[in-house]
Amino acid sequence: MKTSILTFTLSIFICVAARAELKWEQSTIDLHPAVGDKTAVAHFKYQNTGTTPVHFKSVRASCGCTTTQSQKEVVNPGEKGEVVATFNIGDRTGQQMKTVTVQTDDPNPSQATTVLTLKATIPQALEIKPTFVYWQTGEEPKPKKISIKASKDFPAKSISVKSNSQNFESKVEPSKTSGEWTIEVTPKDTSHPMGTALLVQSDYPKEAPKSFYVNASITAPPGAPPALRPNVPGAPPTKTGTPAAIPSPAADR
Amino acid sequence: MKLRAVREGLLLVALAFLPAIGEGIYFRDKISWQSSIPASELVTVDQARAWGDSAIWVDARPDEEFARDHVPGAFSLNEDHWNELLPQFLPNWSPGKKVIVYCSAESCNAARDVAKRLRDEAQLTEVFVLQGGWEGWVKKNR
């Protein structure tokens, strides 16, 4: 009887003592990439402070724009390591929050799943408002204005605008305030649908000036087939599920 | 007597708040700060289909997922290649056309982010997010 009580007590003690615990240095990391950076990388460091090994079951990012890498599959007691999350910035701007869910074989359900958060503040080089101006078919071709403002991290002194379309005229007016401009876009003809992307180029950074786009369209009347594909310099072919929906070739040359 | 009851009641309320406050502090990093999409900006698969040609579909998923399959007629517009894809999508929009944006599933954020940029930057009106995303569409259509 005494032996079984002792065995029971000992097994309880061993069970309690033999625990796996992954301690994370930080579960949220704030990143501030610079203008032009392609990626933002977060290093989530951990240590196994328990007495048994911890196995990673999965490390999953919340979106396809974030890739994750865990250096090892098993973390032995006392061992340290990190999960690296690489966020591909693409054409995103502003506040971005992505999560990485880590699952381990920890028997304690509250410890088995950890959500790591990557917060990135992506600077907007030029604030363009609006990025799209349009006229309805037959509308009077009055000029429309687009305001452009450079952020403080993007010290552009001047911008230029180019269009492949002869139907849209554009001119840049610098504002009284440094780093601010107004682009005035005027169509020559609004009798039929067409579109163009205007290439806005800054003089910064000097080695590789950055390009931005604003869009101008003469929209199709209700019920009419979709407008025509704009002529965008350097852009890949249009991606759509129904090629027939887009009349070829580019509308407006 | 009454005063004692009120005091005890207040004490109970204060005690009830303690674990909530503790949990709030302990899980502060795990609280979702992403606001949910207002109901007025959501559309169900059935509603969206009923709009027919007066709506235009936008696929906010990454290029590879769009290439694998998508809603017929949808345009690819994701934030990875926003500057290239937006000029290809906009000429197909006209005033009065509704825009339905979707991403992989109910839980993804890409559709909400793309819809927000279309409203804020391109200043399009009537931009909706598809409830259930691509998964929801597949369930109803296959």
The chain B residue lying nearest A237, using CA atoms, is B88
DSSP state of A49: -
Whether the CB of B112 is below 8 Å from some CB of chain A: the reply is no
Side-chain-side CA neighbours of A84 within 13 Å: the count stands at 8
Average pLDDT, rounded, for chain B: 88
- Residues from chain B that touch A25, judged by Cβ atoms under 8 A, are none
Q: How far is CA B119 from CA A89, B8, B41, in A?
A: 21, 52, 11
Q: How far is the alpha carbon of A39 from chain B, nearest alpha carbon, in Å?
A: 11
Using pLDDT thresholds of 50, 70 and 90, give the confidence band for residue B3: confident
- Enclosing H/E stretch for A104: strand A94-104
Using pLDDT thresholds of 50, 70 and 90, give the confidence band for residue B107: confident
In this structure, what are the phi and psi dihedrals at residue B16, rounded to the nearest 5 degrees?
A: -65, -30
DSSP helix, strand, coil percent of chain A (3-state; round to 5): 10, 45, 45
What distance in Å separates the CA atoms of residue A193 and residue A135, rounded to the nearest whole number?
9
Per CATH, the homologous superfamily of domain A20-122 is Immunoglobulins (2.60.40.10)
β-strands A194-202, A54-61 pairing: unpaired
Answer yes or no: do A241 and B74 touch at CB < 8 A: yes
Show the tokens assigned to B18: 């303690």
Answer yes or no: do B80 and A65 touch at CB < 8 A: yes
Is there a shared CATH topology between the A20-122 domain and the A126-231 domain?
Answer: yes
- Residues from chain B that touch A230, judged by Cβ atoms under 8 A, are 87-88, 90-91
Residue type, A207: E
Interface ipTM > 0.85 = no
CB B80 within 8 A of CB A88: yes
pLDDT average, residue stretch B32-41: 73
**3-class state of residue A185 by DSSP:** strand
Using pLDDT thresholds of 50, 70 and 90, give the confidence band for residue B5: confident
pLDDT average, residue stretch B74-95: 94
pLDDT in tens, A151-207: 988 999 999 999 889 999 999 999 999 999 999 999 999 999 999 999 999 998 888
The dihedral of CA A242, A247, A250, A252: what is its sign?
negative
CB B56 within 8 A of CB B75: yes
Whether the CB of A113 is below 8 Å from some CB of chain B: the reply is no
Domain ranges of chain A: 20-122, 126-231
Q: Is residue B67 predicted with pLDDT exceeding 80? A: yes
- CATH code of A126-231, in short, is 2.60.40.10
β-strands A113-122, A80-88 pairing: unpaired
Ordered per-residue pLDDT tens for chain A, 253 residues: 555 665 555 554 444 455 668 999 999 999 999 988 999 999 999 999 999 999 999 999 988 899 999 878 999 999 999 999 999 999 999 999 999 999 999 888 888 999 999 999 999 899 999 999 999 999 999 999 999 999 988 999 999 999 889 999 999 999 999 999 999 999 999 999 999 999 999 998 888 888 899 999 999 887 666 555 554 444 444 455 433 333 222 333 2
